[in-house]
A and B are shown apart, each in its own frame.
Chain A
Amino acid sequence: MSAFIHGPWPWYVAGPLVGLMVPLLLLLGNKHFGISANMRHLCAACFPANIRFFQYNWKKEAWNLFFAAGILLGAFVAAYLIANPAPVEVHEKLAAEVATYGITDKNLLPKEIFSLESLLTPRGLIMLTAGGFLVGFGSRYAGGCTSGHAIMGLSTLQWPSLVATIMFMAGGFLMANLVLPFILQLS
């Protein structure tokens, strides 16, 4: 049991648990599962700057910010109280590929990219800031992210969410296979 709790959880355990977030939030108070809207609420709360898109009653959506804060706390619990001491298992082809770019750290987030030192390199700066910017801009433009469209939207059989999910995947495939190698070879 302890080995199960600490080790990486398999997909057939994690997937249904993620799916159960949909009825949980609906039953708790008619809330639709989705996370990217938090970034809009943060803009509305902190820098509305007279932009119409940020003129709304964000306090009514405060539940979403509580949910995000919970994710942060839960991740802390998972990473420190029930941490997995073993290095992350990485597919041998991927490990060999990224090793040629000097990425060998086997944490969930390799420190060669996800560290403050990496921010001082062109590679780290592009991946963290441009990547984050595209995630924020794109999810709002699309009207949701992987949770809102791919899980909540598909769970309610919305075809626009299927379109969005296909585009998410298309963008990810394009980036990871065609563009990212050029970014990773920067240092």
Chain B
Amino acid sequence: MNNKSIAAPDKIDITKDSDFEVRVLNTVCVNESRQQHPWWHNLKYLVAGMLFGIVLVKSEMISWYRMQEMFRLQRFHMYGIMGTAVLTGIVSVWLIKRFNIKTIYGEKIEFHPRKFNKGQLYGGLLFGLGWGMTGACPGPIFAQIGTGAVAAIVILASAVAGTWVYGLVRDRLPH
């Protein structure tokens, strides 16, 4: 990749994936595949995202009202979704491990244990405060924009700004 024009302050070779250990701590969505494919192979993730986007809207998970009802214990809907989603995920992961199911490219599916750090406490609380206010977590923000809610672009821009400021002050925060 042609990223050499960006000067890394402490001479990390960013052309290699040496950042992996750092990333495991900081970002949940880890790209485990070592396969190299042309860009259009990513279109299958576009289709997967579309399925997720349709579910987010049709189940009204993008609604500010549904989130407020969840935090006020007025409706079971969101708890039902989270509960059955996690249950489905647990069973799926168990099946993948139990039967050593491979990816469609024949790669072994890998899991990495997540390490605890204080960010999960402080960051989690800050995230929750924002979630309770806007009723939007990152997935639904993209879905809200898709439904034509122009104001959600402001939420996305603010969330990107928040991410950027975190990157800026990261070394000074307790982890």
Picked from B49, B58, B138, B171, the residue with its CB within 8 Å of the CB of A139 is B138
Q: Is the CB of B160 within 8 A of A43?
A: yes
Binary contact track A1-35/B, C-beta < 8 Å → 1, others 0: 00001001111111111111111111111111111
How many angstroms from the CA of A98 to the CA of B45 in the assembled complex?
Answer: 38
Task: Point out the residues of chain B lying under 8 angstroms from A132, CB to CB.
Answer: 130, 134, 136, 141, 154-159, 161-162
Picked from A61, A116, A170, A177, the residue with its CB within 8 Å of the CB of B150 is A116
| Total A-B contacts with CB atoms under 8 angstroms apart | 582
Q: Is the CB of B147 within 8 A of A129?
A: no
Task: Point out the residues of chain A lying under 8 angstroms from B81, CB to CB.
Answer: 11, 14-15, 18
Interface size on B, residues (CB 8 A): 141
Binary contact track B48-80/A, C-beta < 8 Å → 1, others 0: 111111111111111111011111101111111
Task: Point out the residues of chain A lying under 8 angstroms from B30, CB to CB.
Answer: 32
Task: Point out the residues of chain B lying under 8 angstroms from A171, CB to CB.
Answer: 124-132
Q: Is the CB of B120 within 8 A of A163?
A: yes
The secondary structure that dominates the B interface is: helix
Q: Is the CB of B161 within 8 A of A133?
A: yes
CB of A186 within 8 A of chain B? no
Give the residue name and chain of the B residue nearest to A64 (CB).
B29
Shortest CB distance A145–B (Å): 5
Q: Is the CB of B65 within 8 A of A90?
A: yes
Task: Point out the residues of chain A lying under 8 angstroms from B45, CB to CB.
Answer: 25, 28-29, 31, 63-64, 66-67, 70
Bin the interface of chain A by size.
35 or more
How many angstroms from the CA of A11 to the CA of B168 in the assembled complex?
Answer: 39
Picked from A77, A93, A127, the residue with its CB within 8 Å of the CB of B134 is A127
Q: Is the CB of A167 within 8 A of B93?
A: no
Task: Point out the residues of chain A lying under 8 angstroms from B150, CB to CB.
Answer: 115-116
Give the residue name and chain of the B residue nearest to A137 (CB).
B162
Binary contact track A112-142/B, C-beta < 8 Å → 1, others 0: 0111101100001011111111111111111
Q: Is the CB of A172 within 8 A of B71?
A: yes
Give the residue name and chain of the B residue nearest to A38 (CB).
B138
Picked from A55, A139, A156, the residue with its CB within 8 Å of the CB of B127 is A139
Shortest CB distance A133–B (Å): 4
A21-B48, A35-B139, A76-B146 known; 7 other A-B pairs, CB under 8 Å? A37-B27, A133-B130, A134-B127, A135-B159, A135-B162, A143-B26, A149-B124
Interface residues of A (CB under 8 A from B): 5, 8-40, 42-43, 47-57, 59-64, 66-80, 82, 84, 88, 90-91, 93-94, 98, 108-110, 113-116, 118-119, 124, 126-161, 163-177, 179-180, 183
* Interface CB pairs A-B, < 8 A, 22: A18-B52, A23-B95, A39-B163, A43-B163, A43-B167, A53-B167, A69-B142, A70-B47, A75-B54, A76-B146, A78-B54, A78-B147, A79-B148, A109-B144, A139-B159, A145-B138, A146-B131, A155-B93, A160-B115, A166-B124, A173-B71, A175-B132
